[in-house]
Amino acid sequence: MFLIPTGTDRDDGRRPFFVPLIVAACVAVFVISLQGDGEARWKFVDKYGVAYVGFEWWQLFTHQFLHGGWFHLIGNMFFLAAFGIVLESRLGHLGFLAFYLLGGALAGAAQVGIGHLIDPAHDMVPCVGASGAISALMGAVFALHPRANIRGIAIPQFVRAQTSVQWMVGFAVALDIARTIVDRSGHGGSGIATLAHLGGLGSGFAIGVLLLATGILKRNDFDALYLFKQWRRRRELRSAASMVGARVAATAAAVETPAQRTLRTTIAAAHRERDYTLAAQLYAELLAQLPSATLPAEIQLDVANEFARTGRHAQAAAAYGRFVERFRTHPAADDVRLLLAAIQVRRLGDARGAMTTLAAFDGRDLDDARAQLVKSLRDECEASTRGARA
């Protein structure tokens, strides 16, 4: 399956300014390049494309607006729109334009410079196309939004589909490395400027990380630096787990491996640092190995809240369920049961499960707020059940 990208799930609805202008410029330059006979076209490409032989600094920018054919042009414009819109919103109009041109220039420099070192026989072949600049956009999106999903049209099915930016970048890097090896070894002739793609991806990612690290762009809990910080902290916590004196008690009569006990200790250490995101990630790993695992009350509740906050409703329901099962007399137990019932009926569509959870309130005296919420949730469960029967 091939995906023609149309956007990302990080688009915020802002209208881009330079993205459509760049698309129009690329189309206009391509139409101009078609004028005249074959020799005239070649001279046009040779003059404005970038190559090691006859290199001019301004060619690093002009080559970005040239294309070798309609398919080359249309394909690049789809990718430009998909990645450009989200970046122009994040970088601002002028910031995006500067980034686009700089990324394309660095990609062109990588193509002619590294290409000369690897295979001087291609020094006279001009590099054309927006692919390098677009690869830089892709690298920047990977740095700023590494958990983003790319939306598009699946070919040949012609249906809507999406894939993660991580998968798309990984696939693009692997494909371009393979093409470079085959082309430069003399066993292939793809005609694709793979070094420009790789140079664009690398420079785009590096610039994106630099913008985050210097504070020019506002950080968030989903960028590449945050994920790297989480990975490094996770390694540090795990390596220091054997030095932590307090051990998290194992569930009931469950028999745990040393690795699982270390995982519990690491969860406790992350919780002490109030890193609830990491604690939730590690608890999910523990559950994959030990489905009945329950943590101490406060840790269990904070981890369940983190699942709910990040929209992982099934995991939140499971964590809340384990809390009320094990800590039935905890002061927060009633509120947790209400949270659990609300998630079950409103997020998971599990009216029967919600009714079972609410049954714990039967025959009990509740304050007005809780009694009203219990009644409201039961009404929702009954309405859901009637709708299913209808």
Domain boundary, last residue among 181, 213, 245: 213
Residues 336 and 297 in one domain: no
Residues 227 and 338 in one domain: no
Domain that holds residue 297: 221-309
Asked, for residue 190, whether it belongs to a domain, the answer is: yes
Domain boundary, last residue among 213, 234, 263: 213
Nearest to 208 by CA among 106, 277, 75: 106
Asked, for residue 380, whether it belongs to a domain, the answer is: yes
Task: Specify the amino acid at residue 80.
Answer: L
Question: Residue 347 in contact with residue 313, Cβ under 8 Å?
Answer: yes
pLDDT in tens, 265-317: 889 888 887 888 888 999 999 998 888 899 999 999 999 999 998 999 999 99
Say how far apart CA 390 and CA 385 lie, in whole Å. Answer: 9
Query: What is the torsional sign of CA 34, 40, 41, 46?
Result: negative
Asked, for residue 375, whether it belongs to a domain, the answer is: yes
Residues 130 and 76 in one domain: yes
Residues 268 and 347 in one domain: no
Residues 282 and 240 in one domain: yes
Residues 242 and 196 in one domain: no
Q: What angle do CA 367, 370, 375 make, to 5 degrees?
A: 120
Nearest to 60 by CA among 104, 25, 123: 104
Asked, for residue 326, whether it belongs to a domain, the answer is: no
Asked, for residue 233, whether it belongs to a domain, the answer is: yes
Query: What is the torsional sign of CA 143, 192, 95, 82?
Result: negative
Asked, for residue 316, whether it belongs to a domain, the answer is: no
pLDDT in tens, 10-43: 777 778 899 999 999 999 999 999 888 888 888 9
**pLDDT tens track, the chain, 390 positions:** 577 888 888 777 778 899 999 999 999 999 999 888 888 888 999 999 999 998 999 999 999 999 988 988 998 998 999 899 989 988 999 999 999 999 999 999 999 999 888 878 778 889 998 999 999 999 999 999 888 888 888 877 778 888 888 888 888 889 888 888 887 776 666 678 788 999 999 999 999 999 999 988 887 767 888 778 777 776 666 665 544 434 444 343 346 788 888 888 889 888 887 888 888 999 999 998 888 899 999 999 999 999 998 999 999 999 999 999 999 888 899 999 999 999 999 999 999 999 999 999 998 888 888 899 999 999 999 988 876 655
Counting every residue written for the chain, the total comes to: 390
